[in-house]
Amino acid sequence: MEANAGLVAGSYKRNELVRIRHDSDGAPKPVKNLNGQICQICGDTVGLTATGDVFVACNECAFPVCRPCYEYERKDGNQACPQCKTRYKRHKGSPRVDGDDDEDDIDDLENEFNYAQGTSNARRQWQGEDADLSSSSRHESQQPIPLLMNGQLVSGEIPCATPDNQSVRTTSGPLDPRQPVPVRIVDPSKDLNSYGLGNVDWKERVEGWKLKQDKNMMQMTSKYAEGKGDMEGTGSNGEELQMADDARQPLSRIVPISSSHLTPYRVVIILRLIILGFFLQYRATHPVKDAYPLWLTSVICEIWFALSWLLDQFPKWFPINRETYLDRLTLRYDRDGEPSQLAPIDVFVSTVDPMKEPPLITANTVLSILAVDYPVDKVSCYVSDDGSAMLTFESLSETAEFARKWVPFCKKHNIEPRAPEFYFAQKIDYLKDKIQPSFVKERRAMKREYEEFKVRINALVAKAQKMPEEGWTMQDGTPWPGNNPRDHPGMIQVFLGHSGGLDTDGNELPRLVYVSREKRPGFQHHKKAGAMNALIRVSAVLTNGAYLLNVDCDHYFNNSKALKEAMCFMMDPAYGKKTCYVQFPQRFDGIDLHDRYANRNIVFFDINLKGLDGIQGPVYVGTGCCFNRQALYGYDPVLTEEDLQPNIIVKSCCGSRKKNKTSNKKYIDKKRAAKRTESTIPIFNMEDIEEGVEGYDDERTLLMSQKSLEKRFGQSPVFIAATFMEQGGIPPTTNPATLLKEAIHVISCGYEDKSEWGKEIGWIYGSVTEDILTGFKMHARGWISVYCMPPRPAFKGSAPINLSDRLNQVLRWALGSIEILLSRHCPIWYGYNGKLKLLERLAYINTIVYPLTSIPLIAYCLLPAFCLLTEKFIIPEISNFASMWFILLFVSIIATGILELRWSGVSIEDWWRNEQFWIIGGTSAHLFAVFQGLLKVLAGIDTNFTVTSKASDEDGDFAELYVFKWTSLLIPPTTVLLVNMVGIVAGVSYAINSGYQSWGPLFGKLFFALWVVAHLYPFLKGLLGRQNRTPTIVIVWSILLASIFSLLWVRIDPFTSDKTTAASNGQCGINC
């Protein structure tokens, strides 16, 4: 679908497809044909033959391989071409190997290109068989592919299928040497890339070849070191022995945390666990008889807190850091002068309500994506408008026009960040490291252009404040199809792309696609999860990037190399085949200096997720995450035998894996067989798809019949064919004329009916926090995830700094956890197939049960006040020996916190803010989430999804921080705060009245009460607001001291003499 081809709206079931607006047509820009004859295995030049021609190892597909690699493959490898799997023929001068006797005894190449006759029939037969595997009866016959829309291609991505660019696809299995082979006529004078060899599916096999080669090199190196002679072909100096080629090195590495930091941390955790056991044993065996209800409540709460601490603490046992090597990634996949081999990526941006999510913020996010440091033909940006707002559509149109100027400016001067609002707002020396004389002038001009762009966006927002009675109308007079957000057709508009997306310098821009899925009454649309699944399908039909990256509309790319950072893991031979996603930490702009409500969530991102990264990977947090598309399709990962070993539970029950290799093999075979029989995992797995083993066609035919595929993925042959393209790209058998219709079809509201979408495929339904559920399902299948923390934060976003908005955000997260807890996907009982590690399961259990802690927490926070009011205490009089456990417990808690901060680098202020908001959220949002979740699951009473406001701060520095918005979430913590303050006043007044001996027991009660008030102090500041900038602490202490001195005044009564007091006591009352 071409850029600027007009908005396309339609409904599949109603058989409607309307092209609403057409601005202009531009011819697609031809792709540059880069000339380079480089060996695709070792990276050296292919070289020439004795006659001066280019060396061609494979006569069938002309896959570029140099002579040494060809000789090695024939001698020690599989004796076949890495691309087409055809057995290598012996070239002139090559030594014979086993199997050559079966061939004709030909030592030269004179007759090996004479396949002109009979080739076309074999080629058509082969391609016809291949087409049957990846398409259905709905595909038209393979004729020259018609063009779409005024003679242009959909998104300019798929060339016409002419005999010159048709290629033999070999993903369906190896060629049988006894059958007629489709042979391509190779002209050595032509560029090998013209034969379609730039994007082949052989990386896994080549990596195995490299391991063998490295092993041989190590053996030869040891031989050379022992003085047994020079290595063959290396010379006396062994210069070519320096094969520390960065292209073969790992793309990332684990940076272990110093043992001097971790060992004391783990020791203290074990000691704390022991001390906690003795403490609870003492508390349970020493009741307080005169305050039994208070004592029993406190013991129950303490036991729950201990269990909660265990769930939170032990997943942090193996924290790690990671480091990426972008230079190695570039050297391996993105060399200068060669076609880029980096994988294509589709970036998703989700938005709903432009009034709560300002279009200017969304525009900045989109601009940062379009300007990312990645090959433009490998990036596509999809914006999901789930509110079908014309404001979003028009602002995206303005954004596309501004991008033509902004993107070349960013790439020319290499600026960071590439979101204009945040770039121009930086209070730094923007001339640092800038050497081009034109930079200052161009920056001033670009800033003016951006300010004019902001004015245009603001004008659109002002216009959208009041909707006309007849609904919105587009510029050409056509009614806006999305006037009713609950009843409208699906809409797609490509703003930028190869066929029309050129910047001011004439260079191509990444594709920018507007998508609004169809909505009709009576259908369940599943909120954000449903919108993301619609983006998965429409992107697979139009561009089909091998990887997906999703961000919220307010999370812009702060690091233009973020995609490359993710590819260092996704395209790494060691990690890529089993990594389901790469999660980046969330960082935020616009947070007040002291982060009053812990919006940065530093403890979670810098401590908890680092700990999970050392186990099976971090949980998915909903944004800033790069996915392997195959993992979202429900495929199993490609696991090694080591990955398939029993987990710790199986080992403890069945013994060590070293016991018997035969039993170990039986276990692995049983695990692999279970992949096809267990109903909760895919019918098929990627391991079988990637292995080109004999009989593969028959197995795939049995397992992947058209009926089963449509039942799983939905009734779209184009989308089903795209699911088999592991490396991305559009299937060659796809007819571009069907793409537009299929794109509308896959976003129709009834497409997911009777399919596995939301159950086993894509974002999983059943919770408002679909992120936790989606990540958990992937980990349960055996995938791993990776936590990437580049030095420059990859993404930055905005967070609600207002107290009420922040509590509503936390309420939504907690409600989603309760929904998962009460569903069949609960980690307590789901996914016991040996693939989810024990500590990872504990982390997921902690993620869904933490809202339940609100009940014992609010009870425990009220206990100090009740103790002060009733003059009782939850702890009996203790001996010196018993007091030791109390002291040791507090010391271990403090030591754990200090050592945790030491290895993580988190500041003590961030840690304290996290502790404070844990109490605030636990006594408010978490408590409401428990009851709302029970009502939703048990009584069917649903709660509305509240979009977090992303309004910008326009009324001054952090003006939103001081705005008071009433919500019922404020009632519980306010009650706890007031009760404790009343208890403090009552306790102090009682001690004053009772004399000196009562002050000793009072201190323990006052300590706990003041501890609760200290944790709720940010909440109190939020309640009081700005108060004309009077410090809140002054107001709090004024109230407390005024109450105490008033009671003290009444107690002393200094202006009343003893005679007056006696007389007043002796007076008769009314009943005298």
Which active-site residues does the annotation give? 386, 771
- Say how far apart CA 864 and CA 1012 lie, in whole Å: 8
Work out the number of other CB atoms within 10 angstroms of the CB of residue 852. Answer: 20
Q: Is 690 helix (H, G, I), strand (E, B) or coil?
A: helix
- Contacts of residue 923, defined as CB under 8 A and 6 or more positions apart, other chains included, come to 854, 857, 858, 861, 972, 973, 976, 1016
Which amino acid would we find at residue 791? P
HSE value, Cβ hemisphere, 13 Å, CA-based, for 820: 32
Report how far residue 250's alpha carbon sits from residue 202's, in angstroms, rounded to the nearest whole number: 18
Could you identify the residue written with the tokens 């409607």? 16
Residues in CB range of 471: below 8 A, 6 or more apart: 479, 480, 483
Question: Per-residue DSSP letters for 483-552?
Answer: SSTTSB-EEEEEEESTTT-B-TTS-B--EEEEEE--B-TT----HHHHHHHHHHHHHHHHT--SEEEEEE
Cα distance between residue 653 and residue 326, in whole Å: 44
Helix axes 1032-1052, 1017-1024, angle to 10 degrees: 100
Angstrom CA distances, 305 to 298, 299, 313, 603, 857, stand at: 10, 10, 12, 19, 8
Amino acid occupying residue 339: P
Rounded Cα distance between 985 and 968, Å, is: 27
Tell me the C-alpha distance between 798 and 951, whole Å: 9
29 φ/ψ angles, rounded to the nearest 5 degrees: -80, 130
Distance from C-alpha of 817 to C-alpha of 849, rounded to nearest angstrom: 7
Residue 826: in which H helix or E strand, if any?
Answer: none
Residue 523, burial from CB neighbour count under 10 angstroms (0-12, 13-18, 19+):
middle
Three-class SS state of 302: helix
Q: How many residues does the chain have?
A: 1072
| CA gap 1056, 483 in Å, rounded | 78
Rounded to whole angstroms, the Cα distance separating 541 from 515 reads 13
Enter the tokens of residue 760.
């086993």
CA nearest neighbour of 918 among 842, 827, 1019: 1019
Q: Give the integer Cα–Cα distance in Å for 383 and 512.
A: 8
- Check: CB of residue 958 under 8 Å from CB of residue 592: yes
The DSSP letter of residue 1009 is H
Cβ(397)–Cβ(432) below 8 Å:
no
* CB-based burial label for 376 (10 Å; 0-12, 13-18, 19+): buried
In angstroms, rounded to a whole number, what is the distance separating the alpha carbons of residues 838 and 832?
Answer: 10
Cis omega (within 30 of 0) on the bond before 375?
A: no
